[in-house]
Chains A and B, each alone.
Chain A
């Protein structure tokens, strides 16, 4: 049992390192926080991390097959503006609107995949272009910020399960005995689990999912082995679109509105790449996973949490954040010292 664990850690060095770093940062933050380890703070942490978490998952899939998706932030912004129009009305209409939003994101990802595979264009260039298209569409859909997403929906989905039940009026307004063991779990974490992890893990285990890894390791070998390379590429971008759609939908619910903020789209795309690297996924493809990227997104967010606890000059914060990030990524690079064959450094 122990040896199996040790071997799992050995095989997932990047992930384990990210997890330890995240745990250290996160526990440290809560120990310094005057209300640390309380539900309110966990809810706040979760809320702030959901969007970047989904986007980091979105970025992971193309990166695993040695591509980059520069459109994830723009697709998030596009779906955010769509959601701000369609997630309204009766509960059934709202759910319909949510499905429509996710379909739009997935569809955009599928288009990216088709362009990359059949257009034979490098992913980084193809998605740079489609990202600009998505930004443009977002501006058309919502030229100025606004939208009217129910504040009850916002409240229910950005709090603990207790408030969710209280707002929606089930389980005796959140006081039912059976609900108590889980009443303090933040709803955003449940959303991450159901719409993120529960989609990623089954996908990873399919032939298509494994082919994504194989393409990232050695595309030629994957092709020669008869793996469905084209299908895997299209699936990778489609899944990226789906996760970006989840991010946009949650952003719309979290802010009760839509905003075609192009600067924000760009910042989120870059942060998603940072989160992927922090989470132990290699930019060279083939190594890592979306759950690691979730941890990476958590690290990214937790670093900025410290600025609210410690007194650090506001004009120095950006610099310090950058230095901490650089240090964190450098820890990941330490494993190069343990490489027995220097040829391995080239992959």
Chain B
């Protein structure tokens, strides 16, 4: 026993001193690789560069909470993309675990994959703080850690997200544009907000309201909270219509299928609506666009996981990468909808339609994701 302990001690000592020699990424000058896909967040975004190494690589995804459509679709997308011909030969091993809303378990899973010698670990953080230890370990072991979607409050790791503020602005810009076409430059609008206290909800709302402010029009604003959930949104919009009467436009940021259903149920005239990328919303928009539902659909895509995987591999190949990557907003307006291309009448309403990012060569279609058979994917 003592001999083995000593052996372990020596091995660990050697490991620690070797690990201390490497110190993670270097900060370098831009531009980075493939800038149309890996766009820097803004002008001040720094670039990180890891030492190039030979593939194929071992990649793990450490998800937190699992149990809503978005997360399940994200996991399916990750597995589908790992087998995509553009990337399959660069990945030698691919693992996905979900730890639930348990910070120590998520940190532990990341640390375990670092210990196992994985090259890149992609994660949706359960908390914006608290990852100091695994960031330090990842740097010591030259592992590329890529948080996406729920990103961390740090500039020490490479992260991938969509610009939520820009999304909010795009929602309002489109809706005001449609209103201007029919000669309305002032009126009454309904804002349907997301989960309170969440930074995504905050940023989208700021974006929406700043465009309303800048338009100079006299907008009467009613705000309700729909929690990005179809059921909740349908209820609160029905209540708002009952109390406030007709709106000139509805600025939703999620649960949009429910928003439009509430309008249909109440016999509310079809007006411009902004919303997320739910399949149900796009189906309804395609159906009712002629009656005035001239909306826009932009979404936080579960396909972000594919961009994060691609970014991780690009970093492992030694390319300079922006520290914070802004993924182009996948948007579709009412006149761009095409069944079988950016929405699917044969897929469920709660399917998230946006999965394709042409600049990034990420082209996994909806049916391809839904066709994933979980049993034989390992």
Docked complex Cα distance between A261 and B127 (Å) = 9
Given A264-B103, A314-B75, 10 additional A-B pairs, CB 8 A: A33-B116, A41-B112, A48-B107, A48-B108, A254-B130, A261-B126, A267-B101, A308-B97, A308-B112, A315-B72
A314 and B129 contacting across the interface, CB-CB below 8 Å: no
Residues of chain A with a CB closer than 8 A to B57's CB: none
> Whole-angstrom distance from the CB of A280 to the nearest CB of chain B?
23
A314 and B63 contacting across the interface, CB-CB below 8 Å: yes
If the complex has contacts A40-B15, A254-B107, A261-B126, are A267 and B100 also in contact, measured as CB distance less than 8 A?
yes
Interface centre among A33, A162, A313 (most CB of B within 10 A): A313
B136 and A155 contacting across the interface, CB-CB below 8 Å: yes
Going nearest first, the 7 A-B pairs with the smallest beta carbon separation are A255-B130, A48-B108, A39-B12, A257-B129, A314-B96, A311-B378, A44-B111
Which single residue of chain B is at the shortest CB-CB distance from A266?
Answer: B101
Size bin of chain A's contact surface: 35 or more
Interface flags, B9-34, vs A, CB<8A=1, else 0: 10111011000000000000000000
A37 and B102 contacting across the interface, CB-CB below 8 Å: no
The total number of A-B Cβ pairs within 8 Å is: 145
Docked complex Cα distance between A128 and B374 (Å) = 38
Count B-side interface residues using an 8 Å CB cutoff.
52
Docked complex Cα distance between A267 and B105 (Å) = 12
> Whole-angstrom distance from the CB of A253 to the nearest CB of chain B?
10
Interface centre among A34, A255, A309 (most CB of B within 10 A): A255
B104 and A254 contacting across the interface, CB-CB below 8 Å: yes
Residues of chain B with a CB closer than 8 A to A208's CB: none
> Whole-angstrom distance from the CB of A90 to the nearest CB of chain B?
20
Which single residue of chain A is at the shortest CB-CB distance from B11?
Answer: A38
Task: Judge if A7 is at the interface, Cβ distance under 8 Å.
Answer: no
A311 and B95 contacting across the interface, CB-CB below 8 Å: yes
Docked complex Cα distance between A252 and B97 (Å) = 24
Task: Judge if A47 is at the interface, Cβ distance under 8 Å.
Answer: yes
Residues of chain B with a CB closer than 8 A to A62's CB: none
> Whole-angstrom distance from the CB of A251 to the nearest CB of chain B?
7
B133 and A254 contacting across the interface, CB-CB below 8 Å: yes
B12 and A313 contacting across the interface, CB-CB below 8 Å: no
Task: Judge if B285 is at the interface, Cβ distance under 8 Å.
Answer: no
Docked complex Cα distance between A25 and B107 (Å) = 21
Docked complex Cα distance between A263 and B378 (Å) = 30
Task: Judge if B113 is at the interface, Cβ distance under 8 Å.
Answer: yes
Which single residue of chain A is at the shortest CB-CB distance from B125?
Answer: A145
Residues of chain A with a CB closer than 8 A to B109's CB: 308
Task: Judge if B98 is at the interface, Cβ distance under 8 Å.
Answer: yes
Which single residue of chain B is at the shortest CB-CB distance from A181?
Answer: B5
- Partner-contacting stretch, out of A63-71, A117-125, A146-154: A146-154
Task: Judge if A144 is at the interface, Cβ distance under 8 Å.
Answer: yes
Residues of chain A with a CB closer than 8 A to B130's CB: 145, 254-257, 259
A146 and B129 contacting across the interface, CB-CB below 8 Å: yes
Docked complex Cα distance between A33 and B115 (Å) = 9
Residues of chain A with a CB closer than 8 A to B126's CB: 261, 264
Task: Judge if A273 is at the interface, Cβ distance under 8 Å.
Answer: no
> Whole-angstrom distance from the CB of B111 to the nearest CB of chain A?
4
Q: Which of A124-166 contact B (CB under 8 A)?
A: 143-147, 151, 154-155, 158, 160, 162
B-side interface residues toward A, CB under 8 Å?
4-5, 8-9, 11-13, 15-16, 60-61, 63, 65-66, 72, 75, 79, 95-105, 107-109, 111-113, 115-117, 126-133, 136, 153, 197, 374-375, 377-378
B103 and A314 contacting across the interface, CB-CB below 8 Å: no
Q: Which of A262-290 contact B (CB under 8 A)?
A: 263-264, 267-268
> Whole-angstrom distance from the CB of B183 to the nearest CB of chain A?
43
Task: Judge if A336 is at the interface, Cβ distance under 8 Å.
Answer: no
Residues of chain A with a CB closer than 8 A to B9's CB: 39, 180, 183-184
B66 and A34 contacting across the interface, CB-CB below 8 Å: no
Which single residue of chain A is at the shortest CB-CB distance from B97?
Answer: A307
Q: Which of A105-124 contact B (CB under 8 A)?
A: none
> Whole-angstrom distance from the CB of A205 to the nearest CB of chain B?
30
Residues of chain B with a CB closer than 8 A to A47's CB: 104, 107-108, 111
If the complex has contacts A35-B117, A184-B5, A255-B129, are A313 and B374 also in contact, measured as CB distance less than 8 A?
yes
Docked complex Cα distance between A38 and B14 (Å) = 12
Residues of chain A with a CB closer than 8 A to B101's CB: 261, 263-264, 267
If the complex has contacts A251-B103, A264-B102, are A160 and B116 also in contact, measured as CB distance less than 8 A?
no
B66 and A308 contacting across the interface, CB-CB below 8 Å: no
Which single residue of chain A is at the shortest CB-CB distance from B12?
Answer: A39
Q: Which of A20-46 contact B (CB under 8 A)?
A: 33-35, 37-41, 44-45
Docked complex Cα distance between A264 and B107 (Å) = 14
Docked complex Cα distance between A34 and B58 (Å) = 13
B129 and A41 contacting across the interface, CB-CB below 8 Å: no
B95 and A304 contacting across the interface, CB-CB below 8 Å: no
Docked complex Cα distance between A11 and B100 (Å) = 37
28 example contacts (A-B, Cβ-Cβ < 8 A) are as follows: A33-B116, A35-B116, A35-B117, A38-B8, A38-B115, A39-B11, A44-B111, A48-B105, A50-B104, A51-B104, A144-B197, A145-B127, A145-B128, A151-B132, A160-B12, A162-B16, A184-B8, A251-B104, A255-B127, A255-B129, A255-B130, A257-B127, A301-B105, A304-B105, A307-B97, A308-B95, A308-B109, A314-B61
Docked complex Cα distance between A46 and B36 (Å) = 43
Docked complex Cα distance between A51 and B197 (Å) = 26
> Whole-angstrom distance from the CB of A198 to the nearest CB of chain B?
22
Which single residue of chain B is at the shortest CB-CB distance from A37?
Answer: B8
Interface centre among A50, A256, A314 (most CB of B within 10 A): A314
B8 and A268 contacting across the interface, CB-CB below 8 Å: no
Residues of chain A with a CB closer than 8 A to B105's CB: 48, 301, 304
Residues of chain B with a CB closer than 8 A to A199's CB: none
Docked complex Cα distance between A104 and B343 (Å) = 54
Which single residue of chain B is at the shortest CB-CB distance from A147?
Answer: B129
Residues of chain B with a CB closer than 8 A to A268's CB: 102
> Whole-angstrom distance from the CB of B378 to the nearest CB of chain A?
4
Which single residue of chain B is at the shortest CB-CB distance from A257?
Answer: B129
B132 and A154 contacting across the interface, CB-CB below 8 Å: yes
Task: Judge if A312 is at the interface, Cβ distance under 8 Å.
Answer: yes
Docked complex Cα distance between A40 and B128 (Å) = 25
> Whole-angstrom distance from the CB of A147 to the nearest CB of chain B?
7
A52 and B132 contacting across the interface, CB-CB below 8 Å: no
If the complex has contacts A147-B129, A311-B378, are A259 and B103 also in contact, measured as CB distance less than 8 A?
yes
Which single residue of chain A is at the shortest CB-CB distance from B136?
Answer: A155
